[in-house]
Structure 1
Amino acid sequence: MARVVPPHRHVLTLPTVPSAVRVARETAEQVLDEWGIGRRHPAVGPALLILSELVTNAVRHAAATSPHVTVVYAAAKDAFAFAVHDRHPYQPTLHGADTGDRGGGLATVVELTLALAGTAVVRQDADGDGKSIWITLPL
């Protein structure tokens, strides 16, 4: 099966420090504007919240083993996708809001993603020492 590559793609690698959250969010706003997806689109606000939460989790939980966090942004005419990658070996599960993170964090990510008819997937690195959490939201 051929892999479909969205026409728009941007990759950002940052130190795993608190300011990464702001930079990742501002970069998302910028690339979405460049790609013609206005900030008033109903998926943009929740997407920025989800992105902020995922980068915050990487900063809080992965910084000791992952000095950098990478954010991949991609878009097509009908979808916006982004991934947050770190090199921490922990592989979270994303089953509904029952993530063991009651009331925040990944539970919020999953709830918002599902409410927007999107998908959330954890992809383990080939060596098992890192992962990416991919979010895809329809536009």
Structure 2
Amino acid sequence: MEQISGTAKAEPRPGGRGKGPGDAPAGSGPAEGVWRFPVPAIEASVPRTRHAVRDRLLAEGLTGVRYQELVDDLLLIVSELVSNAVTHAAELSPEVVTELSVGPAWVRVSVEDGDPYRPKALENDTGRTGGRGLLLVKSVTLQAGGVCDVERRGEGGKVIWASLPVPPGPAH
């Protein structure tokens, strides 16, 4: 198990390379791997997870102007999904697990909890405050050219995920 940001722990998953920034040739794109960040379903876990994911993205080579918008979008998505899990699923799920998968063309973030309720993105209602986190995730994902979904887990919980494309490198 690897310590990230001093708080959230990343667990490399089987099949994930888990290599650091020095392992990929410069300019070749991000290093590939899969990492899991289990945290308790409490408010303090939202910024902890966001910082852990940010640190991992940067360590895997998603740095500089080329990746800035992708990293910003991913961090917004992570914040919204973990916040939703902590707010709405904590009673049935004392732990929330964020998974980060980095590939050559896509980066996927997912948040899993033990609550079986499958949320739906609310419509944009200017009379309501709050309650639009999933709508924001869907909007940011689609604008970036990605895809997102909610899936049931065999254990009764759910996972909400978003995959965003990695920006192409400069033409040679």
TM-score range, shorter chain: 0.7 to 0.9
Runs ≥4 in structure 1, deviation > 4 angstroms? none
Q: Which residue of 2 aligns with 1:96?
A: none
Instruction: Give yes or no for contact 1:29–1:39 (8 Å, CA) kept in 2.
Output: no
> Which residue among 115, 133, 142 is the counterpart of 1:105?
133
Q: 1:136 to 1:65 in 2, by over 3 A?
A: same
Q: Which residue of 2 aligns with 1:28?
A: 53
Q: Which residue of 1 aligns with 2:146?
A: 118
Q: Which residue of 2 aligns with 1:18?
A: 43
Q: Secondary structure at the match of 2:74?
A: helix
Identity fraction in percent: 31
- Any gaps of 5 or more consecutive residues in structure 2? 1-14, 17-31, 126-131, 167-172
C-alpha RMSD of the superposition: 1.6
Q: Give TM-score, length-normalised by structure 1.
A: 0.86
- Any gaps of 5 or more consecutive residues in structure 1? 94-98
Q: Give TM-score, length-normalised by structure 2.
A: 0.70
Q: Secondary structure at the match of 2:112?
A: strand
Q: Which residue of 2 aligns with 1:53?
A: 80
Code of the residue aligned with 1:137 in structure 2: it is L
Report the alpha carbon displacement of residue 102 of structure 1 after superposing the two structures with TM: 3.2
Report the alpha carbon displacement of residue 77 of structure 1 after superposing the two structures with TM: 1.8
Q: Distance in 1 between matches of 2:79 and 2:148?
A: 15
Greater relative contact order (Cα 8 A, min sep 6): structure 1 or 2? 1
Report the alpha carbon displacement of residue 100 of structure 1 after superposing the two structures with TM: 2.3
> Which residue among 23, 33, 36 is the counterpart of 1:8?
33
* Equivalences, count: 129
